[in-house]
Amino acid sequence: MDQVSRWLSLCKEHHDKCKPDVYDTLHSFRFRVVDVMKGCVMDAPLDCEYVALSYVWGNANQLRLTSNTLHALSQEGALHGCFQTATTVQDSIELCRGIGKRYLWVDSLCILQDDLDEKHGSLTHMSTVYESAVLTIIAASGSNADAGLPGVRHGTRNSIQHFERIDGLNLASTLEFPNLCAEESYKNSNGWKLQESALSKRFLVFTDHQVYFRC
């Protein structure tokens, strides 16, 4: 978590071109976020800084925001045990807490899934959602929403790197090219996923064996 915070802080402080494009159109449609501290879904505060999640749903039977769950998921503490969220969403909430970011946008929990008008409106503005995020988490491991973010929870990532300390330097073997890892994981997705990462100014990619930051 500390390393991720350092990456993000370094970019925010020194890379002016990486600043997210915050658009007024975010509030021209129903824009919700997950409050990771209160554990509930809420209407996004004006000009709030939020993290977006890009992941593959797959065949996981995950919790979704619907007209039947809207009231319950809007109650403080709803996501702290009352409802079981997909593992990738759980890990993203934990990551946001760890790096001090209060708000998380997740399509399954922030778009009313049984309201066709709202879904259509949200899809129309999807580029704005990712362009305005302070960071996009890309879950490039596994094939469904229960794959998780390897490394967020202890024992969930199997490191295959070899480490040595030689003449006072910490050295590690390199892994496969990261971009290829992400594209391989997303090859069976709905096509939105690679576009989401391209729209984001900063993204954090989780693969089976590593995590990397790009801006």
Most confident of the ranges 151-155, 165-169, 182-186, 202-206: 202-206
pTM: 0.84
Query: Residue 199 has what pLDDT?
Result: 74
* Total count of domains within the chain: 1
For residue 105, give its domain range. Answer: 2-214
Q: Provide the residue count of the chain.
A: 215
Integer Cα distance of 48 and 34 in angstroms: 12
Mean pLDDT of 161-172: 76
**Burial group, residue 121, by CB count within 10 angstroms (0-12, 13-18, 19+):** middle
Tell whether the model's pLDDT for residue 126 goes beyond 80: yes
More confident residue, 181 or 129: 129
